[in-house]
Amino acid sequence: MNLPKPDLTIKPVDPLADTDLCVLCGMCLPYCPTYRVYQNEAESPRGRIVLMQALSKTGFQADQRLFSHLDHCVGCRACETMCPSRVPFSRLINSARQLSRQQHPLPAQINQLLKTVLKPDGLNRYQGWLGNKVIQSISGAGLKLLGQDSTQRLLAQASPQRLHTLYPAGTAPRGSVALFTGCMGKLFDINSLLNSIRLLNHYGFNVHVPVKQYCCGALHENNGYPTEAETLIHNNQQVFGDIDIDYILFSANGCGAQLAEHAFSVPVMDIASFLLQQTDISPDDFQALDSTVVIHQSCSSTNKLKITGISQQLAQKIPGIQLLTLHHADVCCGAGGSHLLSQGETADKIINLKIEELKQLKPDYILSDNTGCSMHFRGSLERAGLDIAVVHPVELLARQLK
């Protein structure tokens, strides 16, 4: 009998093969921020999966319209959280972006930003930051190219500051931790970092802030550059592995979520969970504050770190504050890493749903644990003429510390 010869050739693995896991049920659609805004199937997770399937077919000539639907995805992972078929959407869209980079390059300014933050301490090395060529190109030519006033509103929030490498707790420390600042942290989120240090010292922890730490790599991974993302994580593993610490902590949950997906020499944890779990923090430690507060639930906390309600628990340590709730508080604000720079129009449309509600609620504070979300809220509130302070939960706690 002549049996057919088996085909032993090794076929390349299709990085988009898992799009076949999608059963097209549509359960993810109401949770997708771009679908909520555009009400268009191509702007939904299900629609994007079909577009990715087309992209993976040999010889298919994608056009700019297809790419724009993929570009609009904020990377919030709400679809992944909701999906009964466990479609690994974020891995798929990152692969699709990687596959499409030659046909559809990133704007030059975003590429420059990605290159700059490959260096240790990223943008923070430039103390004359706003005079730096890279940033000038993002804020000048970048503005023209991207056509967004949101870029200007973001850059206006920069306040560079040098941090010490060690903040000792005092005579009898309970332990030592290291703080991950994120490549943008010292420029755009210095208050969160300084207030994290203040609280950690207060509760007895020495705080190391390694100067040569690297970007977390999320920007690279989400823009289709996985090799660079892995290199950055590897470099950070070495930098933090060289210090004698018990934990690596972060206040910027977008960056921290990327770090927390990898193995480090010690546990990696968000500052809010650490304060609640590892210290004896109590309402007795804080002066009362007669204010109303809205908690922004960042996608990085809800869908990546899988921590919900932590900011609420922390805020409730301050006596007197009243928590208000936004409808659909768990839906993305539209910031999404470099999405804010490259897709400003979509980002603005998404946050406007929340801004309209905030006009009615008029809270005194919005608490946000994600640097990108905080910047997006500040810029959008200013544009809407709303005087609402956007701060990290640790900032409010540190202000009220007795």
Interface residues toward ligand SF4, by CB under 6 A: 22-28, 31-34, 45-46, 48-49, 73-79, 82-83, 85, 87, 89
The CB-of-19 to ligand SF4 minimum distance in angstroms stands at 9
Helix (H, G, I), strand (E, B) or coil at 101: coil
Minimum CB distance to ligand SF4 smaller for 34 or for 368:
34
Taking alpha carbons only, the member of 293, 275, 271 closest to residue 370 is 271
User: Which residues 6+ apart lie within 8 Å of 338 measured at CB?
Assistant: 110, 113, 219, 222, 223
Minimum CB distance to ligand SF4 smaller for 226 or for 336:
336
DSSP line for 258-312: HHHTS--SS-EEEHHHHHHHHS---GGGB-----EEEE---HIIIIIS---SHHH
- Count CA atoms within 13 Å of residue 152 on its CB side: 10
Minimum CB distance to ligand SF4 smaller for 82 or for 361:
82
The CB-of-103 to ligand SF4 minimum distance in angstroms stands at 20
The CB-of-353 to ligand SF4 minimum distance in angstroms stands at 14
The CB-of-106 to ligand SF4 minimum distance in angstroms stands at 17
Compute CA distances 139 → 136, 300, 320, 341, whole Å: 5, 26, 42, 10
The CB-of-296 to ligand SF4 minimum distance in angstroms stands at 16
The answer to whether 330 and 306 are in contact (CB under 8 A) is no
Minimum CB distance to ligand SF4 smaller for 75 or for 344:
75
End-to-end Cα spacing for the chain: 89
The CB-of-221 to ligand SF4 minimum distance in angstroms stands at 13
Minimum CB distance to ligand SF4 smaller for 81 or for 291:
81
Minimum CB distance to ligand SF4 smaller for 79 or for 177:
79
Q: Which residue has the tokens 């299709």?
A: 14
Helix (H, G, I), strand (E, B) or coil at 79: helix
